[in-house]
Amino acid sequence: MRRPRTSLGVKILGVISLATCLVFLVLFAANYSWKQEITIQQIDRMGLRVSELLSMAIDGPMRRGDNPGTHEQFRLVADLFMDIRVHLTDFRGNITYSTEPDVLRRDLLDLYDSPEIQDMLDLGIREGTDSGTLLELRGRPYYLRVQSIANAPECHHCHGASQPILGALFEFQDMHEDFAQLRTMQMYGGLLALGGLAVLLTCVLFYLRVRLLDRISNLSRISQAIRQGNYTEDFSVQGADEISELGHNLSTMVQRLKTAEKYAAIGEFSTYIAHEIRNPLFAIGGFANTLVRAPGMDDTSQQKVQIILSESKRLDDILRTFINFSRPLELTMSSVRIDDLVSETIASLAASLQAASVDVRMEPFPSLPAIVTDPEMVQQCLKNLVKNSLSTMPSGGELRISPREDADSVFLTVADNGEGLPSDVLEHPFNPFTSLELAMTRKIMIDLGGELYLESGTEFGTLATLRLPKVLGGEAGSP
């Protein structure tokens, strides 16, 4: 069963949204935990200071056995710290001093039935260990700080020396207001972060939609239209990035496909016409050959028959070129040096160039790499371009051949200072019915993986450039 199609945009936007929300939740949870931990640490330090101050305050009266003075210190603490309860117990856990006078002489565990308080009482009285913890009492959060009271020598006159620990100081700090403020700050922080997340996510999704997804959707729509045979669509995409480059490359491929289909149609038509013409042309040539050998023909008739034979042969060459244009090329690839190909081609055309009073100037060839191509086809392209230049320089001129390269290709430019291509040819330079040589040259270049670029004008002449792909590293060495 075929799976339902899911839009690429939905996938990308969904993944980004989910990942962003997960990151936000993790950061929010971590921030919540860190703030709560910092708050508890601050409260612990404050509770320790209060315990130390209270110990210092009651230390004097207690050492002197001044019970009224000790009670007065606890009353002052109750007045100064409304959110703090302080109880001082003896080694049995009985409350001897407190900020709440009505709980005196009662067991601490009768007031606070909590396993945590039981454990901290045992640690404080039996082991002399100071500790602190966060707990909940009567539905409200409290921070409990326990400080052990050691039996110092100066206390022996009242308490004797039998007990190493006299008791423990219990400090209960009400955390309700602190936690309420903490939750408010966390809520405001969360709302602020959520707003920032919404703005960030909106901007990112909008950017992705405009700069990526819409452009990809446009390419997909155009490709669907082209697949259905509508070659008028254009893949061009605004911008200067990989997507715009992809659009440009796809447009080039479509243009080549259109050209290939046009060439195929032209080829079929040309093949049909050529075969229909060559049959009677063969008969004409045969009869002309018979007449040439016939005795008693005067010179005028002989000359006319020779013209018939010459024109028949020229027409047959044209038809053969059309037939070759319509057929796939049979390429024979080998590793060659481009400078050698150029030198051999120009040498083979030396007589024609001299007869046309055309000087050839070959610019120095740099150290170009070898290329894997069909040398005969490349030479044919060069000959076609040279012949095209000769046709635009009836009174002679100069022909310049110059090479260059980039990272992927080798370029050969054939430039002349002639009159430029005729307007009908320049309008459709690669149409076989206006310029069969240029059309054939471009077809060869495309089959070799390259391209033919053409510029022409009466001011500067004609400039034709062949682009041939380079050899990839290690595929072939220099011959």
pTM check: above 0.85:
no
Looking at the fold, whether 33 and 160 belong to one and the same domain comes out as yes
At 155 the pLDDT is 64
Asked whether residue 202 is domain-assigned, the answer is no
CA distance 50 to 48: 5
CATH number of the domain that residue 52 is part of: 3.30.450.20
Provide the pairing of β-strand 358-362 with 397-405. parallel
Residue 473 has pLDDT above 60, yes or no: no
User: Angle of helix 436-447 relative to helix 242-293, nearest 10 degrees?
Assistant: 130
User: From residue 365, how far is each of 114, 350, 397 by CA, in Å?
Assistant: 96, 20, 22
In Å, how far are 352, 381, 385 from 453, measured between CA atoms? 25, 12, 11
Cβ atoms of 51 and 145 closer than 8 Å: yes
Task: Give CA–CA dist 208/229, Å, rounded.
Answer: 30
Q: What is the pLDDT of residue 476?
A: 37
Are residues 40 and 110 both part of a single domain? yes
Is residue 278 over pLDDT 80? no
353 lies in the same domain as 431: yes
Sign for the CA dihedral angle at 24, 30, 32, 38 comes to negative
The CA distance from 184 to 245, in Å, is 52
Whole-number Å distance between alpha carbons of 405 and 80: 89
Is 230 inside any structural domain? no
177 and 116 fall within a common domain: yes
Q: Distance between CA atoms of 363 and 342, rounded to whole angstroms?
A: 11
In a domain, 476, yes or no: no
- 404 and 432 share one domain: yes
Give the pLDDT band of residue 192 (cuts 50, 70, 90): confident
pLDDT at 223 over 90: no
**Domain boundary residue among 148, 181, 214?**
181
Rounded CA separation 137/143 (Å): 10
Domain assignment present for 237: no
- Angstrom distance (rounded) from CA 151 to CA 173: 26
CATH number at residue 257: 1.10.287
Q: What is the mean pLDDT of the chain?
A: 79
Q: pLDDT per residue over 65-118, tens digit each? A: 678 888 888 888 888 888 888 888 888 889 988 889 899 999 988 888 888 888
User: Are 172 and 321 part of one and the same domain?
Assistant: no
The confidence score (pLDDT) of residue 475 equals 42
Query: pLDDT value at position 9?
Result: 63
236 or 104: which leads in pLDDT:
104
For residue 457, is pLDDT > 70?
yes
- Check residues 264 and 449 and name the one with the higher pLDDT: 449
Which of 286, 302, 326 is a domain's end point?
A: 326
Q: Are 170 and 87 in contact (CB under 8 A)?
A: yes
Percent of residues, the chain, with pLDDT higher than 90: 10
Strands in 140-150's sheet, in edge-to-edge order, are 95-98, 84-90, 165-174, 140-150, 131-137
**171 has a pLDDT exceeding 80:** yes
Neighbouring CB atoms inside 10 A of 302's CB total: 12
pLDDT for 382 equals 92
Domain identity same for 27 and 124: yes
pLDDT at residue 371, as a whole number:
86
188 occurs within a structural domain:
no
Host domain of residue 251: 242-326
What pLDDT is attached to residue 263?
63
Q: Between these two residues, 7 and 419, which has the higher pLDDT value?
A: 419
CATH of the domain at 445: 3.30.565.10
Looking at the 3D structure of the chain, how many domains does it have? 3
Q: Residue 224's pLDDT is what?
A: 77
Q: At what angle do helices 242-293 and 299-326 cross, to 10 degrees?
A: 150
Judgement on whether residues 147 and 26 belong to the same structural domain of the protein: yes
pLDDT of residue 464: 93
DSSP 131-200: EEEEEEETTEEEEEEEEEEE--GGGHHHH-SS-SEEEEEEEEEE-HHHHHHHHHHHHHHHHHHHHHHHHH
CA dist., res. 57 & res. 99, Å (int): 13
Same-domain status, 160 and 296:
no
CA-nearest of 73, 49, 72, 70 to 61 is 70
Q: Domain end: 157, 181, 205, which one?
A: 181
